[in-house]
Amino acid sequence: MSSISLNTHIRAVVVDDEDLARQVVRELLGTHPEVEIVAECANGFEAVKAVAELKPDLLFLDIQMPKLDGFEVLELIGTEMAIIFATAYDQHALRAFEVHAVDYLLKPFGRDRFEAALARAKQQLGGKLPTPSELKSAARSPGEYAERVVVRDGTKVHIIPIGKLDFAEAQDDYVALSSDGKKHLKQQTISALETALDPKRFLRIHRSYIVNLERVARIEPYGKDTHVAILNDGTRLPVSRAGYGRLREFLDKNA
């Protein structure tokens, strides 16, 4: 996105499950004719659809929403816009936002704080935010892991509970997530996904594969010094030498 001047027309989307909260943002933007609200969304699904269709410059985004939270919305829409979070999160998460130069409004907020956030967002319009997976992992408490994975398919959103994820395969800057016999392509590196998953439940068995340990039935030799993991449904996944050691250790413990 090219640099944008303070007087340039800015198209904004407001996302909050509370009508009153959206109304507050609407009223505070009343003194900013350069900012046009092109959509208001009451949940994350509406937000993903609106951003995909309207491609706004600025997003006012609530964090704590039903169905999809603000972080999951960000994962699905990308980072080609300025974001102002509206949140009641604790100080740990707020510090994570500050580190990543993402501004936030701590509810309830007043006009002065809103003006400061808007000014900062305008300055960011010419730049690019950190990847959504970095934001999500930074805001997690130590020992806290993802309970589900969200995937966007056009304007549709698929939610995969972690227990339903069989394995993940790296495909350049994407991962193919296998669940219930279907594969969903998500723009995320396999390393970022690995960080989000509980290491007691998921294991990197190869540079290109992460497996749900509950799905592994056995390991078999495959050529010289190589192995394959056989899953409960018969799927065969390559296992690297380092991955074999980790997988063997897990299976021995749970034998």
Structure tokens, 58: 């600025």
In a domain, 212, yes or no: yes
Q: Residue 123's domain is classified under what CATH number? A: 3.40.50.2300
Residues 41, 221: Cα–Cα separation, whole Å: 53
Look at residue 140 in the predicted model and tell me its pLDDT: 63
8 A C-beta contact, residue 171 and residue 199:
no
- Where a domain ends, among 93, 111, 139? 139
Residues 166, 162: Cα–Cα separation, whole Å: 9
Segment holding 205, helix H or strand E: strand 202-206
- Where a domain ends, among 108, 139, 170? 139
Look at residue 220 in the predicted model and tell me its pLDDT: 92
**102 and 57 inside one domain:** yes
Quick check: 76 pLDDT over 60? Answer: yes
* pLDDT mean over 65-89: 83
Quick check: 235 pLDDT over 70? Answer: yes
Quick check: 126 pLDDT over 70? Answer: no
Q: Which domain holds residue 31?
A: 10-139
Quick check: 56 pLDDT over 90? Answer: yes
Between residues 107 and 31, which one has the greater pLDDT?
31
In a domain, 5, yes or no: no
Look at residue 210 in the predicted model and tell me its pLDDT: 98
**34 and 99 inside one domain:** yes
Q: How confident is the model at residue 165 (pLDDT cuts 50, 70, 90)?
A: very high
Residues 160, 13: Cα–Cα separation, whole Å: 26
Between residues 35 and 253, which one has the greater pLDDT?
35
- Where a domain ends, among 139, 171, 194? 139
pLDDT digit string (tens) for 9-46?
A: 999 999 999 999 999 999 999 999 999 999 999 999 99
Segment holding 169, helix H or strand E: strand 167-171
Total count of domains within the chain: 2
Whole-angstrom CA distances from 253 to 119, 200, 232, 240 are 55, 12, 19, 20
The rounded mean pLDDT for the chain is 86
Provide CB contacts within 8 A for 108, sequence distance 6+. none
